[in-house]
Structure 1
Amino acid sequence: MTSTPPDLALAPKVRAIPDGRTAIRPPIDRRRVLLAAVAIAAAVVTGWSTVRLEFTPSALIEGADDVQNLIERMLPVRLDDPARIFELAGETLLIALLGTVLSVLLSVPLAFLAASNTTPHRAVYAVARGAITFCRAVPDLVFAVLLVRAMGIGVLPGVLALALHSVGMVAKLFADAIERVDPGPREAVRSTGAGRLRELVGGVLPQVVPSWISTFVYRVDINLRTSVVLGFVGAGGIGFALQDALRGLVYDKALGIVLVILAIIAAMELLSIWVRRLLLQPGTGKLTPAGKSSPPWTRDRVARLGLNGVVLAAVILSFPVLRIDPVALLTSPAALVDVAGRLFPPDFTLVGDRLAAAVIETVAIGVLSTAIGILLSVPLGLLAARNIAPHPAVYWSARAVVLAIRAIPELILAVVFVAAIGLGPTAGVCALAIGSVGFLGKLLADAAEEIADGPREAIRAAGGGWWQELFSAVLPQVLPAMVGSGLYLLDVNIRMSTILGIVGAGGVGFLLFEAVRTLNFPFAGAIVLIIFVVVYVIERLSGWIRSQVQ
């Protein structure tokens, strides 16, 4: 019995038309029905969000003059005291690095407890997974606000906030990598009579290190974007200088700081791409006379060793540069327990119509910004795919736009829109929608570059043009990835929308910030718990839909 080639299996079915022509008809299956149901539900929820937020294009049109005035006030760009700005930029880099390293140290034991094939008991597994989900659901800026209030203004609360929130992603990906390992090496180590610790170190760790390295590098990139806004809540970094400029309405100086931030983030993204390729490139071993495998000292191996040394040196250097006492870092768990003790038990007696309205507004901001972001991201993401773009110039231009947008943290965009069109959820929707373009555009471009060529070649062989090829062969293959990435983006945007209220861009963040500022920690605990429940429900629903359509 012959099997269908993979490329032909992906190709859409063809049906005959009475006049002799053929038409492409995708098969009706369970996934297609679910995709249609998701599209209908998304349209309904988006419509509700639009009405709930009273979001209309006319509001943006009416604010065009304000945007123009803001741009005029930003030009020409000014950068006062460059030495201080670059010192703060270096501080931001070290905060991101140290926070990521701490998250890795916390995530390694947690990942082994949260992996189904290495956890000692199902109860331990459930608790570990719950802790990971909590860290991921509570935004890093929320952690920073609480820690700054408990520990005081400084860099250490920012580092700890990045570390705690990063555990939500790092530990999850570490645990997922552990669950995918080959059991053979573990069994081989176990057969020698080794204990459980040696079994994990010798049979599991070597298999997951490459994946863990990739996760670490990617998380540094993410934390750098986050750390630039920690100064907004007094947690150190270049964000403090930016907030100072914005608070003083010195917009030309603020734009100069933003451009420095963009340059640093763009450079770090390019560096992270090179680092991932360097660290994850498989080495070639050579057999020594003694019969032992010894990798040659190639230029790549020397570069990898040197890079590891640079990272280690930067971590050590970060303590004196950031003025962090290592002893204070070791005693920080006591501060974390103190923060948790202040939040719990949460006080729900103050949870009234105002909080309910703010939570609903937060969800609506996340939904509407995601919908707008998807509409804007699809054409840009397809043009940013090397195999789809009609010309190399189009490809590089689209990639540059995606990179530039990804380099701007959403909170900074929210500050700009608040200054341009005023306080309220419209500014939050615009900020998250633009931020979504950079996030989703890159994911769609990467997905489009991985599609099978067979369906496209079939359309091309039948005389179809670029547009027919796009709609008949490209979009059907990209659609599952688009749905999965869009649902993940919804999860991210709802988390982000919970903090936009800090700068007046709507949502529940304003109430949380006010609760912490007035030392009403039990009420803040109630808000944090509600945020966790909302984000957790959205995350589980999105995960289920992604598993069904992919």
Structure 2
Amino acid sequence: MMPTKTRPADAPRASGAPMPGRPGPLHPPVTRERVTLWITLAALVPLTLASANHIEFDLRSLGGGFTDVANLLARMLPPEVSEPPRILELLLETLMMALLGTVLATVISIPLAFLAAANTTPHPVVHRAARMVITMCRAIPDLVFAVLFVRALGIGVLPGILALGLHSVGMMAKLFADAIEASEAGPREAVRATGAGRLGELVMGVLPQVIPAWLGTFIYRIDINLRTSVVLGFVGAGGIGFALQDSLRGLMYESAMGIVLIILLVIAAMEILSIALRRTLLNPTDSGPAPRAIDADSAIRPPWTRDRRVRAIAGAALFASVAYSLGHLRINPLAPLASFGELAGVFGKLLPPSIEGVEDLLLIAVVETLAIGLVATVIGAVLAVPVGILAASNISPSRPLYAAARAVVLVVRAIPELILAVVFVAAIGLGPMAGAMALAVGTVGFLGKLVADSIEEIPLGPLEAVRAVGGGWWDTLLNAAIPQALPQLVGHLMYMLDVNIRTSTVLGIVGAGGIGFLLMESVRTLNFDVAGTIILIIFAIVFIIERLSAWIRKHVA
């Protein structure tokens, strides 16, 4: 028998090795990356305070503004709906815009995602180029897309659909590519071993793995685009937002309130429907009929289980809805190609970029936009994290609290940020504070949902282990739930900063501060070269935040 090797008592231990008879380390070792990370996060506090001071953020000013808001709401009551047939038709247009815009984004995002995914891209240069295209689509606000398309194609729903589609590519293609990169290599290798080509490898080895995640993204994006399509009507891109703008401009506040309530009810209904669809399409409920002898035919074709039938019906309904929407709106899918010259002419005016006429205002506006986004994200996170925890079914202390938190998330998410900005502008006047408050409230709904979903997706083992040793609710939350969800929560926080900075560029249309005012004014006055400069600045900000977010997620575990 081989002699057992022993280590001398004074020999050095391997780094991180546990002491004999003692448990191993309960926390990861201190590294340069982790120290840098926590210093960066610690710097967030003074940076937020400095940003709040820069935009003259003062919660005391809200107290005096409540009277103005109350007066505005009093003028909006009782709500009324003038011309119900017209409102219903515009509402139908809005729903169809959201659907067609999301379908268009999906068609563009699928090939782009395969080019942008590191494990399927044909070349590193193609990978980087595809990622840049995705980031650019996300950096250009949907409202700016809509204004440019209206300039090229005229007023109507087609500019709105194209704006929703291109802007949605920034989110959908990124998430599609992330799902591809997370797919297992085994099925691809098995398909490759059969002699299939590259296309067959992607279709048979990758698609079956990523389709569930893609379906979830598609449903979620329809929900987002429904709220966004309301805003696009403000620039003539069709939908019910056009009627809302008319009512506000004409000081018909009762009619405006009636339209707002209709919008809220429809968005809330779509939110509930999207939750039901995600549960039905993404969570199998049965395993089909009882096992039987397998023949060649049944081995190739899977059984028609209840879930498969539901998904087939949903797919057919989607196809029928797209066909009906195109016919109802009288949209020729080839119209953008026929108008390619006009589109190229308008978008070509964005280059070369210029700062002529805004030299003294541009840097101030950029800093103001960053300050608005940071303050709104931090304030929104302080409110959203507790709401999200209570809205997570696996950690919420009681069913009533869970239902109340979910209701708060649902109601807040149903209100477009532009409408919130109008309310806060009425309360505290024009300026960046109104934009920061509107985005902070919107963050409660958006981030609260992300927090709740992240906590619900964590493994239940650590939660049950803490409860088994007598740990209370706080022990379970702090020692099991938060540590597991922390990387996702930090990622969501950085994503919200990205979203809020981009959204703040839209709120400038109602005087809520930031670079959005300069952007919209440059487009309105046909100074497209200045608009191009602002878009490039937004792109750079979004790209930097995205890289920082990826670095933080890598080192926060």
TM-score norm. by structure 1 comes to 0.89
Determine which of 39, 43, 46 is the counterpart of 1:44. 46
Tell me whether 1:537 sits opposite 2:544 in the alignment: yes
Deviation, structure 1 residue 242: 1.2
CA-based RMSD of the aligned residues comes to 2.5
Once residues 386 and 251 of structure 1 are traced to their aligned partners in structure 2, the CA distance between those partners, rounded to angstroms, is 39
Is this contact kept in 2: 1:284–1:295, CA < 8 A? no
Q: For structure 1, which segment, 270-279 or 399-408, has the greater mean C-alpha deviation from structure 2 after superposition? A: 270-279
Equivalent position SS for 1:118: coil
Equivalent position SS for 2:356: helix
Structure 2 CA distance for partners of 1:457 and 1:102, relative to 1, 3 Å? closer
Corresponding position of 2:260: 258
Structure 2 CA distance for partners of 1:127 and 1:462, relative to 1, 3 Å? closer
Corresponding position of 2:8: none
Is this contact kept in 2: 1:491–1:542, CA < 8 A? no
Corresponding position of 2:104: 102
Once residues 301 and 425 of structure 1 are traced to their aligned partners in structure 2, the CA distance between those partners, rounded to angstroms, is 50
Tell me whether 1:197 sits opposite 2:199 in the alignment: yes
Once residues 313 and 490 of structure 1 are traced to their aligned partners in structure 2, the CA distance between those partners, rounded to angstroms, is 38
Corresponding position of 2:513: 506
Structure 2 CA distance for partners of 1:218 and 1:88, relative to 1, 3 Å? same
Structure 2 CA distance for partners of 1:196 and 1:342, relative to 1, 3 Å? same
Determine which of 75, 78, 96 is the counterpart of 1:76. 78
Deviation, structure 1 residue 466: 4.2
Determine which of 330, 349, 353 is the counterpart of 1:342. 349
Once residues 375 and 101 of structure 2 are traced to their aligned partners in structure 1, the CA distance between those partners, rounded to angstroms, is 32
Once residues 151 and 180 of structure 1 are traced to their aligned partners in structure 2, the CA distance between those partners, rounded to angstroms, is 40
Once residues 472 and 200 of structure 1 are traced to their aligned partners in structure 2, the CA distance between those partners, rounded to angstroms, is 41
Is this contact kept in 1: 2:62–2:427, CA < 8 A? no
Structure 2 CA distance for partners of 1:215 and 1:81, relative to 1, 3 Å? same
Structure 2 CA distance for partners of 1:417 and 1:91, relative to 1, 3 Å? same
Deviation, structure 1 residue 189: 3.5
Once residues 416 and 158 of structure 2 are traced to their aligned partners in structure 1, the CA distance between those partners, rounded to angstroms, is 21
- Could you list the runs of 5+ residues in structure 1 that have no partner in the other structure? 1-24
CA deviations on 1:14-71 (whole Å, 9 max, x unpaired) are: xxxxxxxxxxx97774587456424421111111111100011121112121111122
Corresponding position of 1:292: 298
Is this contact kept in 1: 2:95–2:226, CA < 8 A? yes
Once residues 404 and 221 of structure 2 are traced to their aligned partners in structure 1, the CA distance between those partners, rounded to angstroms, is 26
Is this contact kept in 2: 1:108–1:171, CA < 8 A? yes
Once residues 221 and 186 of structure 2 are traced to their aligned partners in structure 1, the CA distance between those partners, rounded to angstroms, is 30
TM-score norm. by structure 2 comes to 0.88
Taking only the aligned residue pairs, the percentage that are identical comes to: 62
Once residues 525 and 181 of structure 1 are traced to their aligned partners in structure 2, the CA distance between those partners, rounded to angstroms, is 37
Q: For structure 1, which segment, 383-392 or 281-290, has the greater mean C-alpha deviation from structure 2 after superposition? A: 281-290
Corresponding position of 1:549: 556
Once residues 459 and 545 of structure 2 are traced to their aligned partners in structure 1, the CA distance between those partners, rounded to angstroms, is 32
Corresponding position of 1:15: none
Structure 2 CA distance for partners of 1:52 and 1:318, relative to 1, 3 Å? same
Q: For structure 1, which segment, 133-142 or 177-186, has the greater mean C-alpha deviation from structure 2 after superposition? A: 177-186
Tell me whether 1:90 sits opposite 2:92 in the alignment: yes
CA deviations on 1:333-352 (whole Å, 9 max, x unpaired) are: 44442233111111133441
Corresponding position of 1:383: 390
Once residues 203 and 259 of structure 2 are traced to their aligned partners in structure 1, the CA distance between those partners, rounded to angstroms, is 45
Is this contact kept in 2: 1:146–1:339, CA < 8 A? yes
Corresponding position of 2:133: 131
Is this contact kept in 2: 1:383–1:398, CA < 8 A? yes
Corresponding position of 2:529: 522
Determine which of 278, 281, 287 is the counterpart of 2:280. 278
Tell me whether 1:152 sits opposite 2:143 in the alignment: no
Corresponding position of 2:223: 221
Deviation, structure 1 residue 416: 1.9
Once residues 120 and 36 of structure 1 are traced to their aligned partners in structure 2, the CA distance between those partners, rounded to angstroms, is 37
Deviation, structure 1 residue 482: 3.0
Once residues 332 and 97 of structure 2 are traced to their aligned partners in structure 1, the CA distance between those partners, rounded to angstroms, is 14
Determine which of 329, 333, 353 is the counterpart of 1:322. 329
Deviation, structure 1 residue 495: 0.9
Once residues 406 and 414 of structure 1 are traced to their aligned partners in structure 2, the CA distance between those partners, rounded to angstroms, is 14
Is this contact kept in 2: 1:499–1:507, CA < 8 A? no
Once residues 200 and 481 of structure 2 are traced to their aligned partners in structure 1, the CA distance between those partners, rounded to angstroms, is 48
Q: For structure 1, which segment, 477-486 or 110-119, has the greater mean C-alpha deviation from structure 2 after superposition? A: 477-486
Q: For structure 1, which segment, 300-309 or 125-134, has the greater mean C-alpha deviation from structure 2 after superposition? A: 300-309
Alignment of 1:108-127 (within 5 A): 108-127=110-129
Is this contact kept in 2: 1:425–1:505, CA < 8 A? yes
Once residues 177 and 394 of structure 1 are traced to their aligned partners in structure 2, the CA distance between those partners, rounded to angstroms, is 33
Once residues 464 and 309 of structure 2 are traced to their aligned partners in structure 1, the CA distance between those partners, rounded to angstroms, is 43
Deviation, structure 1 residue 524: 1.1
Once residues 117 and 272 of structure 2 are traced to their aligned partners in structure 1, the CA distance between those partners, rounded to angstroms, is 32
Once residues 169 and 376 of structure 1 are traced to their aligned partners in structure 2, the CA distance between those partners, rounded to angstroms, is 25
Tell me whether 1:425 sits opposite 2:435 in the alignment: no
Structure 2 CA distance for partners of 1:331 and 1:438, relative to 1, 3 Å? same
Once residues 111 and 316 of structure 2 are traced to their aligned partners in structure 1, the CA distance between those partners, rounded to angstroms, is 24
Aligned length: 526
Deviation, structure 1 residue 312: 0.7
Corresponding position of 1:360: 367
> 1:342 is aligned with what amino acid?
K
Once residues 252 and 324 of structure 2 are traced to their aligned partners in structure 1, the CA distance between those partners, rounded to angstroms, is 33
Equivalent position SS for 1:348: coil
Is this contact kept in 2: 1:149–1:516, CA < 8 A? no
> 1:80 is aligned with what amino acid?
S
Corresponding position of 2:444: 437
Tell me whether 1:163 sits opposite 2:162 in the alignment: no
Deviation, structure 1 residue 356: 1.2
> 2:260 is aligned with what amino acid?
V
Once residues 296 and 382 of structure 1 are traced to their aligned partners in structure 2, the CA distance between those partners, rounded to angstroms, is 39
Structure 2 CA distance for partners of 1:184 and 1:451, relative to 1, 3 Å? closer
Is this contact kept in 2: 1:149–1:517, CA < 8 A? no
Corresponding position of 2:5: none
Once residues 376 and 178 of structure 1 are traced to their aligned partners in structure 2, the CA distance between those partners, rounded to angstroms, is 34
Once residues 257 and 312 of structure 1 are traced to their aligned partners in structure 2, the CA distance between those partners, rounded to angstroms, is 29
> 1:398 is aligned with what amino acid?
A
Structure 2 CA distance for partners of 1:474 and 1:127, relative to 1, 3 Å? closer
Is this contact kept in 1: 2:135–2:542, CA < 8 A? no
Determine which of 369, 389, 402 is the counterpart of 2:376. 369
> 2:251 is aligned with what amino acid?
L
Once residues 479 and 185 of structure 1 are traced to their aligned partners in structure 2, the CA distance between those partners, rounded to angstroms, is 31
Corresponding position of 1:9: none
Once residues 289 and 457 of structure 1 are traced to their aligned partners in structure 2, the CA distance between those partners, rounded to angstroms, is 44
> 1:496 is aligned with what amino acid?
T
Deviation, structure 1 residue 462: 6.9
Is this contact kept in 1: 2:105–2:172, CA < 8 A? yes
